[in-house]
């Protein structure tokens, strides 16, 4: 039965909870497990879904870890523009995200490190060392309130009472 | 002081909701996974909250007209025209109330003389019967049955009508069963009522939460507008329970008397809520649709979950409750709920809280996140497993 599953809807479900089984999702959207599986496979194959990961609050188990956002001004390359340099930066393990930006700088990199020294070493040795990088501005994150659409504080309690 | 002598006999004799005791148990336990709430888990759409903030900043916190802001009454009439294809005059045929609950009380007191019979469809929200009693009316219960998908049938209705029948409460989409009335069901009911002097109070508070086609009101069935008071509000559709805002729309002679009572007891509904509600009606169709979509996914998951656990669960088409049958466990509704909360810390509401015919069922709210619902279903599964293994 049941035809095409709405892709937006499927992605919305997975974005919130990627651990639901195909059966569960099928029940929720009124489809079959086989169709849901096929649709997810297709989204994976076409590169819409790039992977599945846990949303981890690093500070919950490692108080010292540090997240930094680093702005880079970069000289674009004649052939590849910013792409090649961005790809190089993206290949480093400690880098969480690399984004080309509009505005006062070109590339925004987010990096996690064991401590501040760890990050400053990374900026010095890895980023500043790239010829095309003209300057770097490093912002250390003091506190994170929401990541990947998930609010991190535990203070959002359900205050609704039992009501008929 | 002998308070027993002092207090109103009628009020004292009202069933103290036996359920209170159970709620207290659940409230005092730590880490209870509740499936007991009767309100949305969504926040009121931001535009509505923002409007209230603006109104507060401007200090527009006076009384409004007794019947409600004209602007809001107009918006309500437009909404009714659009949603249930029924026209009302904003000046004479609408009153804005403190929640749907006030509208229920008003319609009873505007119509009921001592001894008049009021038909109450059960299982249903708990307020109808006591309010009828306090007003001197005689509640006559019509029980709906699972084999009818908890719909009111023309036969059951006809069997309960006497020459004293004044009013029929029609609570669909239904809390706690999630049942709805389709157009053909309403046609059959209308056939019985046309030509009588019975008024229908159609409590449509869950009207925006229907999952198989659009909600149909009995007011839009031929010949019924003149004998129907439509009760609705903002609590469920716009996630605005705490704003306390509802309304009634109906024929002028009835609304006029309701307004008189409203004027004496309430003055007017909260003005900040009223201003905000105008924007809810104007700008929040998409929010309502998104919430409905989310509820629908949960509904399917929870119905499927209960059926897989072996608790038969009829597929509700409205509201945000499922009403599984627990008779297979050999327990009463209250036993089931009490044991479940003690052994697995999951709270659901005994079906008999909604009328005697709710016995053998429990009400489960799915106004919770998917993760929360899955955890609760898991625990209920463990509970049933342990029961089976003695």
Contact assignment for A28 to B347 by CB distance below 8 Å = no
pLDDT of residue B130: 94
pLDDT at B15: 75
- State the pLDDT confidence band at A164, using cuts at 50, 70 and 90: low
From the list B134, B180, B97, the residue with the least C-alpha distance to B15 is: B134
Global pTM exceeds 0.95: no
Separation of CA B365 from chain center: 13
Taking CB atoms and an 8 Å limit, are A28 and B17 in contact across chains? no
Please report, for chain B, the start and end positions of each structural domain, with discontinuous segments joined by +: 3-44+286-388, 58-283
| Dmax (CA) of chain A | 69
Please identify among residues 7-26 of chain A the ones whose CB lies closer than 8 Å to any CB of chain B.
9, 13, 16-17, 20, 24
Residues of chain A with Cβ-Cβ distance to B347 below 8 Å are: 162
**Beta carbons of A24 and B300 less than 8 Å apart:** no
pLDDT at position A2 is 45
Chain B residues close to A161, C-beta within 8 Å: 23, 27, 37
A47 touching B (Cβ < 8 Å): no
What is the CB neighbour count within 10 angstroms for residue A99? Answer: 12
Would B3-44+286-388 and B58-283 be classified into the same CATH topology? no
Of A16, A28, A162, Cβ closest to residue B37: A162
pLDDT of residue B125: 92
Sign of CA dihedral B323, B328, B329, B334: positive
Cis ω for the linkage preceding B4 (within 30 of 0): no
Name the residue with tokens 């898991």. Answer: B378
A14-67 confidence digits (pLDDT tens) = 998 899 999 999 999 999 999 999 999 999 999 999 999 888 777 777 778 899
Average pLDDT estimate for A143-156: 76
Q: Tell me what pLDDT residue A1 has.
A: 40
Contacts of A158 in chain B (CB under 8 A): 34, 41
Higher pLDDT, B232 or A150: B232
What pLDDT is attached to residue B24? 81
A9 vs B contacts (CB less than 8 Å) = 293
Cβ(B107)–Cβ(B231) below 8 Å: yes
Q: Cα torsion for A82, A85, A86, A87, to the nearest 10°? A: 120
State the smallest CA–CA distance between residue A111 and chain B in angstroms. Answer: 30
CB contact under 8 A, A164 and B125: yes
State the angle between helix axes of B99-111 and B252-265 in degrees (0 to 180), rounded to the nearest 10. Answer: 110
How close B17 gets to chain A, by Cα (Å)?
Answer: 10
In the block, residue with structure tokens 């909260």: B270
Which residues of chain A does B374 touch, with a Cβ-Cβ cutoff of 8 Å?
A: 24
Which is nearest to B135 in space by CA: B14, B6, B269?
A: B14
CATH of B3-44+286-388, one of 3.40.50.10490, 3.40.309.10, 3.90.1150.10, 1.10.10.10: 3.90.1150.10
B251-268 pLDDT, tens digit per residue, is 999 999 999 999 999 999
Q: What pLDDT was estimated at residue B200? A: 98
Instruction: Evaluate whether the domain defined by B58-283 bears CATH number 3.40.640.10.
Output: yes
State ipTM.
0.76
Partner residue opposite A164 with nearest CB, options B19, B304, B371: B19
Q: Mean of the pLDDT values across residues A87-98?
A: 94
Which of B37, B38, B131, B297 to mutate to probe the A interface, most A CBs <10 Å? B297
Report yes or no: B27 at the A interface, CB cutoff 8 Å: yes
Calculate the average pLDDT of chain A. 89
A-B C-beta contacts closer than 8 Å = 50
- Window from A80-84, A102-106, A150-154 with minimum mean pLDDT: A150-154
Interface contact flag, A164 B353, Cβ < 8 Å: yes
Mean pLDDT by 10 residues, chain B (390 residues): 90 74 80 89 96 97 97 98 98 98 98 98 95 96 96 98 98 98 98 96 98 96 98 97 97 98 97 98 97 97 96 95 97 95 94 94 96 96 93
- pLDDT higher than threshold 50 for residue A88: yes
Q: Is B130 on the interface with A (CB under 8 A)?
A: no
Distance from CA of A29 to the nearest CA of B (A): 6
A29/B contact by beta carbon, under 8 A: yes
CA-closest candidate to residue B125, choices A118, A164, A11: A164
């Amino acid at each position: 039965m049941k035809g095409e599953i709405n892709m937006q809807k499927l992605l919305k479900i997975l974005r919130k909870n990627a651990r639901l089984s195909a059966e569960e999702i099928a029940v929720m959207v009124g489809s079959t497990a086989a169709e849901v599986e096929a649709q997810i496979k297709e989204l994976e194959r076409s590169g819409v879904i790039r992977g599945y990961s846990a949303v981890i609050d690093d500070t919950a188990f490692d108080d010292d870890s540090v997240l930094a956002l680093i702005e880079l001004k970069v000289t674009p390359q004649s052939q590849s523009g910013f792409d090649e340099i961005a790809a190089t930066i993206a290949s480093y393990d400690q880098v969480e995200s690399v984004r080309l930006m509009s505005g006062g700088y070109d590339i925004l990199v987010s990096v996690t490190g064991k401590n501040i020294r760890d990050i400053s070493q990374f900026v010095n040795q890895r980023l500043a060392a790239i010829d095309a990088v003209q300057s770097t501005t490093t912002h250390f994150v003091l506190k994170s309130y929401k990541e990947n659409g998930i609010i991190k504080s535990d203070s959002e309690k359900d205050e609704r009472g039992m009501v008929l | 002081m002998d308070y027993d002598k002092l207090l109103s006999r009628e009020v004292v004799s009202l069933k103290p909701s036996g359920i209170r005791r159970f709620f207290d148990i659940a409230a005092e336990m730590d880490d209870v996974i509740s499936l007991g709430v009767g309100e949305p888990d969504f926040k009121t759409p931001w535009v509505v909250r923002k409007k209230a903030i603006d109104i507060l900043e401007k200090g527009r916190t006076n009384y409004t007209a007794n019947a409600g802001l004209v602007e809001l009454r107009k918006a309500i009439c437009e909404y009714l025209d659009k949603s249930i294809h029924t026209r009302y005059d904003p000046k004479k045929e609408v009153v804005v109330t403190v929640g749907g609950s006030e509208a229920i009380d008003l319609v009873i007191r505007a119509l009921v003389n001592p001894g008049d019979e009021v038909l109450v469809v059960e299982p249903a929200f708990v307020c109808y019967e006591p309010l009828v009693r306090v007003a001197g009316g005689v509640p006559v219960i019509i029980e709906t049955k699972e084999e009818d998908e908890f719909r009111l049938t023309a036969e059951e209705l006809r069997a309960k009508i006497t020459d004293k029948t004044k009013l029929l409460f029609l609570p669909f989409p239904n809390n706690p069963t999630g049942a709805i009335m389709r157009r053909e069901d309403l046609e059959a009911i209308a056939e019985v009522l046309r030509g009588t002097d019975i008024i229908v109070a159609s409590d449509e508070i869950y009207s925006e939460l229907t999952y198989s086609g659009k909600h149909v009101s009995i007011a839009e069935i031929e010949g019924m507008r003149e004998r129907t008071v439509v009760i609705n509000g903002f609590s469920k559709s716009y996630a605005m329970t705490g704003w306390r805002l509802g309304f009634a729309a109906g024929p002028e002679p009835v609304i006029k008397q309701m307004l008189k009572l409203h004027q004496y007891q309430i003055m007017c509904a909260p003005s900040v809520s009223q201003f905000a509600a105008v924007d809810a009606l104007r700008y929040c169709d998409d929010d309502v649709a998104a919430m409905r979509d989310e509820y629908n996914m949960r509904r399917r998951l929870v119905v499927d979950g209960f059926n897989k656990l072996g608790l038969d669960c009829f597929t509700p088409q409205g509201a945000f409750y499922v009403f599984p049958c627990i008779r297979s466990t050999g327990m009463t509704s209250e036993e089931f709920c009490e044991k479940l909360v003690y052994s697995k810390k999951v709270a659901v509401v005994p079906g008999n809280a909604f009328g005697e015919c709710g016995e053998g069922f429990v009400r489960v709210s799915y106004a919770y996140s998917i993760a929360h619902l899955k955890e609760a279903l898991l625990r209920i599964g463990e509970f049933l497993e342990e029961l089976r293994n003695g």
